[in-house]
Amino acid sequence: MRIRKIDLYVFKEVLSPFLGGIFFLAFLFLMFQFLKLAEFFIIHGVPLHQLFKIVEYMVITFLPLGLPIAMLVGVLVAFSRFSSDSEIVAMKASGMSLWRISVPVFALSFGVAAFALMLSLNWAPWAETALRRQLIRIGNAKFSSAIQAGTFTSGFLNLLLYTEKVNNRAGKMEKVFIFDERDPKHPLTVISKTGEIIRVQEGDDEVGGAIVQLQNGSIHQSLTESDEYNKVNFGTYQIYVDLTKGNSDLAFKPKMFLLDELLAKRNRAVNPSFDRNQFDTEIWRRISILFMPIFFVLMGMGFGVVRTRGSRMGVFMIALITMGIYWQLQVSCIWCGEHGTIPAWLALELPNLGIGCVGLWAFRRANW
């Protein structure tokens, strides 16, 4: 009964800083995105509910890596306090080894590992895709604000636009120049005295496209095949821009596929020597998340017991440095896996093996 109470006590002492670590790391991650979020809200006038969606998607994409790091923070904080208060000595004096003390901690790490794996396999890719789509919707809904007077503006599906005067709120323009290269073989140059942008709504939050309506101008076309030059004057000329086409680019990034889609794409790879390496590397990158919390427990207990005077800020510094080193190793190993230098399964397990060796060394050092 006494041992069960100790297990519950250790579990609670690790759980509290673990949850705190999740909130702290998520807040730190969002701080790097603060300027972008502020720009959406202040400059582009994005509604709060859309900003909350963006934050939600960002946090979900962060959690597969954030949960293991938060696990490291929780173990470091708890065992540093145990050691500084001599509670580790008391537990060992009662006959409990460090391995026995770690049982509830490993139980928590297994749960965290399973949850992180589910996030990594399907939820994080779904959130990554939803985030990109949401950013495209925001950009489409507010794209007219990007047009500046006296500046060439590109990015509207092979349209290059210039205007001398613009009213972004009303979408009105004066003295407009457009180079239309949507048909590369027959590009057009359009010049008009006035113009306006009319948005085409598909739903409450989405913009399906936009009509660039020009008045009192001319269309110029040079045909290179026949050395001809055509000019057509017009009273009103409309260019429809389908802004939803930008979403199709999302399908070409392996990290944005759900697991079933990723496996199907791998089996239908056009270039097996390179594409399959990419897909295999992405699959093993997601699976490697499973072992991170377990190895971080070893490291956290080892360094936590030895560092008897560590402050909480010092603990967070260790966690952030560990996350930085792990991330740099993973990026290098991903490159090796994608280019076939190292088999994908081995490349993505090398960072875990490195963390595991350091953690086992620290744990054995603390297990006196």
pLDDT tens sequence across 273-332: 557 888 889 899 999 999 999 999 988 888 888 754 445 556 777 777 888 888 889 889
Q: Is the pLDDT of residue 197 over 90?
A: no
**What residues contact 353, with CB distance under 8 A and at least 6 apart?**
none
**pLDDT, greater one: 73 or 240:** 73
pLDDT single digits (tens) 227-245: 788 889 999 998 877 655 5
Sign of CA dihedral 275, 276, 277, 281: positive
* Closest to 68 (Cα-Cα) out of 318, 294, 328, 352: 294
Q: How long a stretch of residues is the chain?
A: 368
201 pLDDT exceeds 70?
Answer: no
Instruction: Indicate the average pLDDT of the chain.
Output: 82
Q: How far is CA 216 from CA 54, 162, 181, 199, in A?
A: 42, 16, 21, 21
Mean pLDDT confidence for 119-124:
92
* Closest by CA position to 257, among listed 282, 277, 289, 275: 282
Look at residue 242 in the predicted model and tell me its pLDDT: 64
Residue 88 has pLDDT above 50, yes or no: yes
Sign of CA dihedral 266, 271, 272, 278: negative
Across 181-224, where does the E strand assignment appear?
A: 188-201, 207-223
Highest averaged pLDDT of the listed ranges 71-75, 138-142, 306-310, 338-342: 71-75
- In terms of DSSP H, where are the helices of the chain? 2-31, 34-42, 48-84, 87-93, 98-101, 103-118, 124-141, 259-267, 272-288, 292-306, 312-338, 344-366
pLDDT of residue 314: 67
Q: Look at residue 123 and tell me whether its pLDDT is greater than 90.
A: yes
3-state secondary structure 32-61: CCHHHHHHHHHCCCCCHHHHHHHHHHHHHH
CB 53 within 8 Å of CB 134:
yes
pLDDT per position as a tens digit, 17-61: 999 989 988 998 888 888 878 877 776 667 788 888 889 999 999
193 confidence band (pLDDT: 50, 70, 90): very high
pLDDT category of residue 157 using cuts at 50, 70 and 90: low
Between residues 119 and 305, which one has the greater pLDDT?
119
Supply the angle between the helices 48-84 and 34-42 in degrees, to the nearest 10.
150
The count of other CB atoms within 10 Å of the CB of residue 38 is 11
Give CA separation, 173 vs 139, 140, 145, 156, 177, in Å.
20, 18, 12, 16, 10
Res. 3 pLDDT band, cuts 50 70 90: low
Q: Which residues contact 365 (CB under 8 A, 6 or more apart)?
A: 302, 306
Which pLDDT score, from 0 to 100, does residue 264 have? Answer: 84
* Mean pLDDT value across residues 350-368: 86
CA gap 53, 56 in Å, rounded = 5
Could you tell me what percent of the chain has a pLDDT over 70?
83
79-83, 183-187, 279-283, 339-343: the lowest-pLDDT one: 183-187
Q: What are the domain boundaries of the chain?
A: 2-140+252-366, 158-242
Residue 272's pLDDT is 57
- Tell me the C-alpha distance between 275 and 267, whole Å: 10
In the three-class reduction of DSSP (H, G, I as helix; E, B as strand; rest coil), residue 361 is classed as helix
Residue 180 has pLDDT above 50, yes or no: yes
Q: Which of 96-105, 170-179, 194-203 has the lowest mean pLDDT?
A: 194-203
Q: Is the pLDDT of residue 156 over 70?
A: no
Two tokens at 71?
A: 């696990």
The pLDDT of residue 205 is 46
Residue-level pLDDT at 363: 86
Q: What is the pLDDT of residue 34?
A: 83
Residue 152 burial (CB count, 10 A): 11
Q: What is the pLDDT of residue 16?
A: 92
**Confidence band of 97 (pLDDT split at 50, 70, 90):** confident
Question: Which residues lie below 8 Å from residue 103, measured CB to CB, with a gap of 6+?
Answer: 7
Decide: pTM greater than 0.85: no
